[in-house]
Amino acid sequence: MERRSLVVVGLGYVGLPLAVAAVRAGLRVHGLDSDPDRIHGLTQGLSHVDDISDEEVCEALDDGFTPTTDATCVTSADVVVICVPTPLRQSVPDLDAVCAAGATVAERLRPGALVVLESTTYPGTTTEILLPLLERDGSRAVGADFHLAFSPERIDPGNTSFSLTNTPKVVGGVTEGCTRAAAEFYGSIVDEVVPVSSPAVAEMTKLLENTYRQVNIALVNEMSVFCHELGIDLWEAIDAAATKPFGFKPFYPGPGVGGHCIPVDPGYLSHRVRTLGYPFRFVELAQEINNGMPRIVVSRVTQLLNDNGRSLRGAKVLLLGATYKADISDERESPCRVAAERLIAGGAEVTYHDPHVPSWHIGDRVLNSVPDPAEAAAAADMTVLLQAHSCYDLDHLVAVSRLFFDTRGRAAGKQVARL
């Protein structure tokens, strides 16, 4: 029996894990991407995604995975999943990649095929943007000539407990038949499928998940500012509150939020709400608070230096961590970069260490990660923990540092100042 054929359009942090998981599930998989360098690397067995190793790419290639820039692979696909980027441009969703992928698929779609959009977007995109492209002015009918659904990606880079396969997959089709087709497809790859009544509900599910995180992180970030002024250890208060077995989930302050999800996805929901004629004030306020955290970090660094007889200008400041999340190499929307830019603008002599980022572009500068963080900490006027990578021996780093500012609540000691 011939294996079912899948084309994954877009081989980034969402598409490549899906392609690898689908190959393991026995599907015949093409990975379609417009970046020839990315495709060349994959054909050589090289992964560009934290959660997928080179060995896993090689295994997928051996099992029939075909990375390509040739869109003709769509003509033989039973299923096409679109996983292209959806950035915000000046708070406006940029769906150019979705439209381009939709047009490419529409030209080559075989009768009866299933198309699924996984790219995060605002509610209504699947039916308002993608569906008309695929129907081609009425020459095709959804539910009869092809199936269409939305399924939000739930990839959490660096999470060793929950992967694509053991995280429930939400699917919402344009018709009941579309939902069944999408549920059947994902059911062959993941452990649990959660059908919902429409693509819009599935689209809203993703935005709700990340808006929930954005708002709660903003709450504790704002509390960290006034708790510092009040002389209250917010971290201790959060840990104490977390002992309550109901009605509370702990969130922790930090230097800001990063990645594609939390800083970007709620902006899609805010954009959609604004089209109705009013602002989504909760989200916009949360974004404002979280976007302001790198400024708070620099203010605290400046204050700590002043309290110890130093000014920011000319001070040697070591930054630990450049990525938006621990133990990954992903720098997308990382608040660490904004903090570094502000420190440099204030006259600090900034160095950094990150085991996952050998070089760091800060404005028009390129910094190289120092080889030994402890040696660099001993030479610096202040060490700032921006990302708590598991490789850091924080006790030793604190011991050798003159001043240690912890934005992640991981270090201990009398000489440690916390955000």
Q: Which residues are catalytic?
A: 261
Dihedral sign, CA of 22, 261, 332, 9?
Answer: positive
Residue 388, exposed/middle/buried by CB under 10 A (0-12, 13-18, 19+)? buried
Which tokens go with 197? 């009544």
Q: What distance in Å separates the CA atoms of residue 64 and residue 169, rounded to the nearest whole number?
A: 25
Dihedral sign, CA of 102, 104, 105, 108?
Answer: positive
Query: 398 and 411 in contact (C-beta within 8 Å)?
Result: yes
3-state helix vs strand vs coil in the chain, percent to 5: 40, 15, 40
Closest CA to 95 of 132, 48, 61, 137: 132
What are phi and psi for residue 295, nearest 5 degrees?
Answer: -65, -40
Contacts of 383 (CB under 8 A, 6+ apart): 317, 318, 320, 377, 397, 401, 402, 403, 404, 405
Q: What distance in Å separates the CA atoms of residue 148 and residue 173, rounded to the nearest whole number?
A: 6
- CA 75 to the chain's CA centroid: 31
Closest CA to 121 of 318, 266, 218: 266
Which tokens go with 204? 């809203």
Query: 326 and 357 in contact (C-beta within 8 Å)?
Result: no
Which regions of 95-191 does DSSP assign to beta strands (E)? Answer: 114-117, 147-150, 169-173
Q: What distance in Å separates the CA atoms of residue 401 and residue 318, rounded to the nearest whole number?
A: 10
Calculate ∠ Cα 347-348-352, nearest 5°: 145
